[in-house]
Structure 1
């Protein structure tokens, strides 16, 4: 099976998929792209409806035998299920349901919140410095009108106070969810290390500087974050960073209409 992974800096969904790739032992050609400059939509990448209309926003694209796929949790599951064993997802049906239920909480609540706060803190000024002509050229290939509108809002610095407040609350809730799971002394969220750990870490690791109050007193979560960071797969993914602080590199995340 020939794999090509187009990925951004090791943060958010790109971190999940890079670490999943290394956890599962697959060989893949790695092609870094700048998600903060909408390079995922360039002619150099293969496209289909799934990648163009991805609910994840600006995430990595995995091409398997010529077929492009998107969305980090599903890509991690694909890598797990095509590996020689199942290193990052349980084979038991109930345990698999539990993992996917957890991941859905993260991708539908924590991920939009993290991306919203992340682009406000680290992408808005970068986009506003572009000329109108350059910016519009980067936006032209984007097929999703919703995603294109979010890019424009970020460039204009148009951030809704209610969504900012809601995002902060969702990050705090995600930390509380992690803290509660770890209360019994386990090392990993669902007992065995899984995609749930990778996906949760990928969205929360960059929130410490942006929303530090969410982590106050969450010592179990801090220890868990350090354990994840120390895993060889995550350490290897982080070593691929092109910038000194990849946790500060954010692109538009899951679509705005997933709030609630």
Structure 2
């Protein structure tokens, strides 16, 4: 069903459609892969009930460094979107998952409070994920689970384990007495929870003391019990 915010006369125009054609160019287009950063945006789109098409952009250089994708995101990272029905009915192209979450929240008037104080506090926690949780957990994955784990010098590995523990404890304290980061479910949760779930993928739950926490594991469980999240966590579907 078309979303009431769509304008059916607008059509997509962008070089990326040469590699990832739009079946319905009037819909918002998502170019992504179901990593934590990608899942943030698919969760938002599902929670907000927006009509969209999802295009699988693998993490291989052939996709993310292709001329077509670089025309949309010169930083060659997923996710990115094109909304043919952006502000004032004009097409808008966005990369960086945090910017996309803010845009979608403002477009739909959902999951980001209109009260200025609450709004900026929500964005504050979104930036906590963008500047801290995501980069630090990503480095943890590299040095603990992937290529960096082969290094004999444990300095980097120990650094990111310690930083992950510190960030988890920040969240543990924040979630005391709260179901969600801001009390009400928001784009801050859509950003934070997928990265927490990534610790299991890195097989880093034990080493970061995740199971010693009370609030954080319950929070992740609540998040993934949401029907929209259960659907969005594999959008676009990973290759078989």
Give the TM interval when normalised to the shorter protein: 0.7 to 0.9
2:141 is aligned with 1:112: no
Residue from 173, 180, 184 that aligns with 1:188? 180
Q: CA deviation at 1:206?
A: 1.2
1:230 is displaced (CA, Å) by 0.9
Match of 1:212 in 2: 206
The structure whose RCO (Cα within 8 Å, separation 6+) is larger is 1
- Correspondence list, 1:77-88, <5 A: 77-83=102-108, 85-86=109-110, 88=111
Distance 1:162 1:211 in 2: 19
Residue ranges of structure 1 left out of the alignment (5+ in a row): 125-153, 245-260
CA distance in 1, matches of 2:134, 2:113: 23
Q: Following the alignment from structure 1 to structure 2, what is the Cα–Cα distance between the partners of residues 159 and 35?
A: 28
Alignment partner, residue 33 of structure 2: 8
Count of matched residue positions in the alignment of Structure 1 and Structure 2: 205
TM-score by length of 1: 0.70
Q: Which entry has the higher C-alpha Rg, 1 or 2?
A: 2
Distance 1:180 1:216, change over 3 A: same
**Given that residues 109 and 170 in structure 1 are in contact (C-alpha distance below 8 angstroms), is that contact kept between their aligned partners in structure 2?**
no
Cα distance in 1 between the residues matched to 2:184 and 2:38: 22
Give the ranges of 4+ consecutive aligned residues of structure 1 lying more than 6 Å apart after TM superposition.
157-160
Does residue 176 (structure 1) correspond to residue 199 (structure 2)? The answer is no
Tell me the equivalent position of 2:99.
74
CA distance in 2, matches of 1:158, 1:30: 38
Where do residues 22-33 of structure 1 align in structure 2 (5 Å cutoff)?
Answer: 22-33=46-57
Kept after mapping to 2: 8 A contact 1:36/1:123: no
CA, structure 1 residues 73+59, in 2 after alignment: closer, same or farther (shift >3 Å)? same
- Distance of aligned partners of 1:189 and 1:40 in 2 relative to their CA distance in 1, 3 Å threshold: same
Q: CA RMSD in A?
A: 2.6
What CA distance in whole angstroms lies between the structure 2 residues aligned with 1:182 and 1:222?
Answer: 10
User: Which stretch of the first structure deviates more once superposed, 59-68 or 224-233?
Assistant: 59-68
Please say if residues 8 and 35 of structure 1, whose CA atoms lie closer than 8 Å, have aligned partners that are also in contact: yes
Given that 2:33 and 2:238 are in contact with CA atoms closer than 8 Å, whether structure 1 keeps it comes out as: no
Per-residue deviation at 1:197?
0.9
Change (3 A) 1:233 1:36: farther
CA contact (8 A) 1:76 1:195 kept: yes
2:145 and 2:159 mapped to 1: Cα distance?
19
In the alignment, what sits opposite 2:11?
Answer: none
SS of equivalent to 2:67:
coil
Shift of 1:166: 2.5
Unaligned runs of 5+ in 2: 1-5, 7-26, 85-90
**Paired position in structure 2 for 1:52:** 74
CA contact (8 A) 2:161 2:207 kept: no
